[in-house]
């Protein structure tokens, strides 16, 4: 098990390096001279050259990348141009909030998909299964940022049940308050994954129900709940694995949803930074989410391997 994780960690390093190269290049494709945003418009060529040297822009691009990467590895993601503070100070609290939203969405998507998926697998011919099948297909075509707007329109504006933005009420707080603020963003984020997961759970469970040992249990007259437990135990490694992989998709879809709900996560930070053309923040935000995405996939693989020994030796 340990050697499996080590091997995967080793394989992850080139991926992370590649990710860092792309993120580094992202800042390089910004049109215009980065010096312009720092010096006064009427600065002399000598002044500009000084700034250029300060920023390391006079070095070859490979050296620039090396310096940048060295800083990133030490946790220095640069400074925000507009807020005049280290990007990490901006991103770390935001990352926590994004993780809260993503985790809530993953949990919601998992539970809903499990219930509907198992039901549809048991009753494939029922009207309800057909309805859910249609809905899950439709949900894949739903833009989550629009769903977010519609949810606000219904539940916040019209019905006034739930808050439309932020993480907590001004002056308020506590767990209940957070959950109230979480419900709508979670629903909007989870939606597209619910569709994907439901279809996957349904086909996994339906596949297990077709196997001989299930028929044998049924023939022996074992109770249905016991059979269900059996089916779930068999299907769980697969289901959890796909859910884990969806975690990455949820992380990405939270970026757009956060902007609608002003949820103070990384998506919101990136969105504001785009508006202010604060590129170091955009770059760092993309890097943080991409690295989280890669690490998540590793974690999911490790958990899957722990649950299913076949994977380890494949």
Partner 1 sequence: MTIHATTARDAASLRPISREPSRVLLIWRAFSRRRSALIALAVLTVIVFSCVLAPWVAPYGPSEGEVTDRLMKIGSAGHLLGTDEQGRDILSRILYGGRLSLLSGVLPVLLSSLIGGALGVIAGYFGGWTNTVIMRSLDIVFSFPAILLAIGISAALGPGITNIIISATVVFIPPVARIAESAAKEVRKEEYIEAARSSGAGAGLIIRSHVFRNIFSKVFVFSTSQIGVCLMVASGLSFLGLGVSPPTPEWGFMLNNLKQLIFVNPMVTIVPGVFIFLTSLSLNLVSDALSDALEIKR
Which of 24, 119, 261, 279 binds partner 1 (CB under 8 A)? It is 279
Find where tokens 């100070």 sit: 89
Rule CB under 8 A: say whether 231 interacts with partner 1: no
Q: Which stretch binds partner 1 (CB under 8 A): 22-30, 88-96, 114-122, 211-219?
A: 22-30
Size of interface with partner 1, in residues (CB under 8 A): 52
Q: Which residues contact 202 (CB under 8 A, 6 or more apart)?
A: 116, 117, 118, 120, 121, 133
Pick between residue 122 and residue 145 the one whose CB is nearest to partner 1: 145
Pick between residue 61 and residue 140 the one whose CB is nearest to partner 1: 140
Rule CB under 8 A: say whether 260 interacts with partner 1: yes
Which sign does the torsion angle of CA 171, 268, 187, 163 carry?
A: positive
Rule CB under 8 A: say whether 140 interacts with partner 1: yes
Residue 165 phi, psi (nearest 5) = -155, 160
Rule CB under 8 A: say whether 70 interacts with partner 1: no
Pick between residue 118 and residue 151 the one whose CB is nearest to partner 1: 151
Beta bridge pairs of residue 6:
none
CA 36 to chain centre: 35
* Closest approach of partner 1 to the CB of residue 135, in Å: 11
Which of 191, 282, 300, 302 binds partner 1 (CB under 8 A)? It is 282
- Helix, strand or coil, per DSSP, at residue 86: strand
Rule CB under 8 A: say whether 138 interacts with partner 1: yes
Which of 248, 264, 265, 280 binds partner 1 (CB under 8 A)? It is 248
Rule CB under 8 A: say whether 284 interacts with partner 1: no
* Closest approach of partner 1 to the CB of residue 298, in Å: 11
Let me know how long the chain is.
Answer: 314
Rule CB under 8 A: say whether 18 interacts with partner 1: yes
Q: Which stretch binds partner 1 (CB under 8 A): 41-49, 175-183, 208-216, 256-264?
A: 256-264
Token reading at 57: 């822009």
Beta bridge pairs of residue 79:
86
Residue 35: burial class (beta carbons within 10 Å; 0-12, 13-18, 19+): middle
Distance in angstroms (rounded) separating the CA atoms of residues 104 and 189: 9
Rg (CA), the chain: 24
Rule CB under 8 A: say whether 94 interacts with partner 1: no
Rule CB under 8 A: say whether 141 interacts with partner 1: yes
Question: By CB under 8 A, what part of segment 293-312 binds partner 1?
Answer: 293-294, 297
Beta bridge pairs of residue 86:
79
CA distances from 189 to 28, 159, 214, 264 (A): 32, 21, 36, 15
Rule CB under 8 A: say whether 62 interacts with partner 1: no
Q: Which residues contact 314 (CB under 8 A, 6 or more apart)?
A: none
Rule CB under 8 A: say whether 252 interacts with partner 1: yes
Give contact residues for partner 1 (rule: CB under 8 A): 14-15, 18-19, 21-23, 26-27, 29-31, 137-138, 140-143, 145-147, 149-150, 152-154, 157-158, 164, 248-249, 251-253, 255-256, 259-260, 270-271, 273-275, 279, 282-283, 286, 289-290, 293-294, 297
């Amino acid at each position: 098990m340990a050697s499996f994780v080590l091997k995967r960690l080793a394989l992850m390093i080139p991926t992370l390096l590649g990710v860092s190269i792309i993120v580094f290049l992202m800042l390089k494709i910004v049109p215009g001279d980065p010096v312009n945003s720092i010096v006064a418009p009427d600065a002399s060529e000598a002044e500009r050259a000084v700034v250029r040297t300060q920023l390391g822009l006079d070095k070859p691009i490979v050296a620039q990348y090396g310096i940048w990467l060295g800083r990133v590895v030490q946790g220095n993601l640069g400074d925000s141009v507009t807020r005049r503070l280290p990007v990490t100070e901006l991103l770390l609290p935001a990352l926590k909030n994004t993780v809260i939203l993503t985790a809530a969405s993953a949990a919601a998507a998992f539970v809903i998909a499990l219930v509907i998926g198992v039901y549809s697998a048991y009753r494939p011919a029922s009207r309800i299964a057909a309805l859910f099948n249609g809905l899950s297909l439709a949900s894949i075509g739903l833009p989550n940022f629009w769903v977010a707007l519609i949810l606000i329109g219904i539940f916040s504006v019209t019905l006034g049940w739930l808050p439309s933005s932020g993480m907590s009420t001004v002056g308020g707080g506590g767990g209940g308050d957070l959950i109230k603020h979480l419900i709508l963003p979670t629903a909007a984020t989870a939606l597209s994954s619910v569709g994907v997961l439901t279809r996957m759970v349904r086909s996994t469970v339906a596949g297990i129900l077709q196997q001989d040992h299930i028929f044998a249990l049924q023939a022996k007259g074992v109770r249905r709940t016991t059979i269900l437990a059996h089916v779930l135990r068999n299907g769980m490694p697969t289901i959890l694995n796909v859910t884990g992989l969806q975690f990455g998709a949820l992380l990405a879809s939270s970026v757009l949803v956060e902007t609608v709900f002003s949820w103070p996560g990384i998506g919101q930070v990136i969105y504001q930074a785009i508006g202010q053309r604060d590129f170091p923040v955009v770059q760092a935000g993309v890097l943080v989410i991409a690295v989280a995405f890669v690490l998540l996939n590793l974690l999911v693989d490790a958990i899957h391997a722990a649950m299913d020994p076949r994977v380890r030796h494949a």
